[in-house]
Amino acid sequence: MTAQSEPGFEPSGLAADATSGDDLRTRLREAGFRLTPQRRLVLQAVVDLGHSTPEEICAQVQRTADGVNASTVYRTLDVLEQIGLVRHTHLGHGAPTYHAADDANHVHLVCEGCGVVIDAPVGVADPLVGTLRDAYAFELDVQHFAIYGTCAECAGGR
């Protein structure tokens, strides 16, 4: 039920910067927001979890620290999304899934069978991007892009 290609911890230091304090503080202040411990914790949780629902983020944050109220988590995710550090995708079922914006260079392949989320490089969608642009003047948002289907495991007898 979790990602195969585990980002987990910052691929190349990008995510680390976001949470180290500096970048986060700057970004927040530019938009008129303040830096609070809760916001740092929530961003850290999003980065660490890779893909996660608000509920999972709540749980993760409770665990890691004094606890952040659920409503604060929701409000914080909004703020972090506004300043572009976090993005969300609808993977289907119920809740939206959040991930660090830095970690967005992939599309999500969601298996309808087992729910696994496979990350594929954005490049796989290039042909489709071209087709849609040409035929419909539709600009595909590859980041916010969830693709449904069946993974090898679930397709093969197993």
Partner DNA sequence: CTTACTGCAAATATTTTGCATTTGG
Partner DNA sequence: CCAAATGCAAAATATTTGCAGTAAG
> Hey, what long-range contacts does 32-36 have (CB within 8 A, 24 or more apart)?
33/79, 33/83
The two tokens of residue 54 are 């608000």
The two tokens of residue 46 are 């999003």
Strand ranges (DSSP E) for 43-125? 86-89, 97-100, 106-111, 117-121
Partner interacting with residue 8 (select from a copy of itself, DNA, none; CB below 5-8 Å by kind): none
Cβ–Cβ < 8 Å for 48, 103 = no
Residue closer to DNA, measured from CB, 80 or 109: 80
Cβ–Cβ < 8 Å for 119, 79 = no
150 belongs to the binding site for DNA (CB under 7 A): no
69 belongs to the binding site for DNA (CB under 7 A): yes
Which residue stretch of 9-17, 64-72, 73-81, 109-117 sits at the interface with a copy of itself (rule: CB under 8 A)?
A: 109-117
Partner interacting with residue 122 (select from a copy of itself, DNA, none; CB below 5-8 Å by kind): none
145 belongs to the binding site for DNA (CB under 7 A): no
- The angle at the Cα of 63, spanning 58 to 77, to the nearest 5 degrees, equals 25
Q: What does the alpha-carbon distance between residue 121 and residue 149 come to, in Å, rounded to a whole number?
A: 17
84 belongs to the binding site for a copy of itself (CB under 8 A): no
Q: Which residues bind DNA (CB under 7 A)?
A: 25, 28-29, 32-39, 53-55, 66-72, 74-76, 79, 94-96
Q: Which residues bind a copy of itself (CB under 8 A)?
A: 90, 92-93, 109, 111-112, 118, 120, 124-125, 127-128, 131-132, 135-141, 144-152, 155-156
